[in-house]
Amino acid sequence: MERANGRTVSVHLTHGDDYFGPVGPFEVDGGWWSAVGPVVERVSAVAGVPVAVVRLAEVASGEGGSGGHVVYHAEALERPAAPAPREPGADLAALLGPAERRAGWATPAGLRDVLDWAERTLGQTGRPVAGRARQLRTWNLSGLFRYSTTTGGDAWLKAINPVFNAREGEVIALLGGFDATLVPPVLGADPERGLLLLDHVPGEDCWGPSAETVADVLPRLVAAQAALAADGRAAAAGLRDRTPRTLLGQVDSLLDRLEAGTGPARSDLTAGELAAARALAARLPALVGELAACGLPETLVHGDFHPGNWRSDGTHTVIVDYADSCLGHPALDGLRPRQYVSAERWAQIAGVWARAWREHAPGSDPERALELVEPLYHLSYAVRYQEFLDHVETSERPYHEGDPASEIRKALAWAGEPGQVPA
């Protein structure tokens, strides 16, 4: 779902402790700040050596993670022949220097360490790399790199922050223990550092899922979730707790912080909106009770089950990206695709999802669960986005600055007019 608009880019290039000056500004097709593939290609050509983007350093204009003018820090993986290194000024040295809450892969040394780990691990698994990694995405939530290997198949390296993300390899193992074809094959993992190596999954991301893809993937996920709930493995997996009753306390805590308006928990919510959010929160325990009466079990939830995280070759679909996985209500996954698909496709998705759950939970009411879960869905994302803001460095905050407030407003829209106390 790359937006049509582009961005202008400037890059500060380093090699170890040496600064080799700025590259740019230049224009890049595709607006997403995290999509660094074309940036790497352009700067590598200018520098004459392989380059990798370390992190986003500054943003001027643009919104929602897209457009505007973006400044990156990039590391030359080999020493450039020219120009000669220079001393950065004080302001630039501060921009490129250390910062609190910086991701492990978002420093030159950390980036090299991650790439070295991936290449070493692939060699140990009998898949030696054939050339340098191709960097596709880097932002506050993950770094994504693609390797060609001497065996002919590609492999993917993903780096995430383990402090606020799920251990993806363990989640994949849980789901794969029930249905190995539902998840990508894991080639290596270092969960303490948030590193994961995956075998390449053929096909395309399903931003426009076909009816056949929907009919394939949804019943298989539901079957796995039902099985993990039934045998207790989901509850015992140590996943982040987003079960409805736990979420109530998390929402109250978030509203406390937003009202205080300090640190990373700041928003432009008005006093009226905050009062309406408090009133809605007071109604949630009754709603949670109604949701429980629908008869669906708490289980492993993917956490970001939009169709861009489904990958299909036309006959078989694999689910990817488990960083947001948690223990929660399955209707959170059931509702997620709605905003990404047409009304016709959503009607099919809702119907397939509900039929699958009625099969695995006889006597349940999945349709009612989808209706009831909407305010919890939005509030769970408000809590999740605040987790992002709490754990990323200041320069990366523009990715998610307004997201908690936006999700709270969506929950209020479900309850009534924003800023008014729901009846």
The residue ranges of every structural domain in the chain are: 7-96, 108-199, 204-415
Look-up: residue for tokens 């897209």? Answer: 66
CA 12: distance to chain centroid? Answer: 26
Residue 422 — very low, low, confident or very high, per pLDDT cuts 50/70/90? very low
For 204-415, CATH number?
A: 3.90.1200
Residue 419 — very low, low, confident or very high, per pLDDT cuts 50/70/90? low
Look-up: residue for tokens 């950065």? Answer: 88
Q: Residue 209: count other Cβ atoms within 10 Å of its Cβ.
A: 25
The radius of gyration computed from the CA coordinates of the chain, to the nearest angstrom, equals 22
For 108-199, CATH number?
A: 3.30.200.20
For 63-68, which contacts have Cβ atoms below 8 Å and span 24 or more sequence positions?
A: 65/32, 65/33, 65/34, 65/139, 65/398, 65/399, 66/3, 66/5, 66/7, 66/31, 66/32, 66/33, 67/3, 67/5, 67/6, 67/7, 67/31, 68/7, 68/8
Closest by alpha carbon to 400, among 412, 413, 383?
383
pLDDT in tens, 342-401: 999 999 999 999 999 999 999 999 999 999 999 999 999 999 999 999 999 988 888 898
Please tell me the predicted confidence (pLDDT) of residue 3.
Answer: 40
Lowest-confidence region among 45-54, 57-66, 121-130, 268-277: 57-66
CA distance 55 to 70: 11
Residue 191 — very low, low, confident or very high, per pLDDT cuts 50/70/90? very high
**Averaged pLDDT, 33-57:** 95
**Averaged pLDDT, 106-112:** 95
pTM of this structure? 0.93
Alpha-helical (H) ranges within 244-365 are: 244-260, 271-293, 331-335, 343-360
CA distance 79 to 356: 56
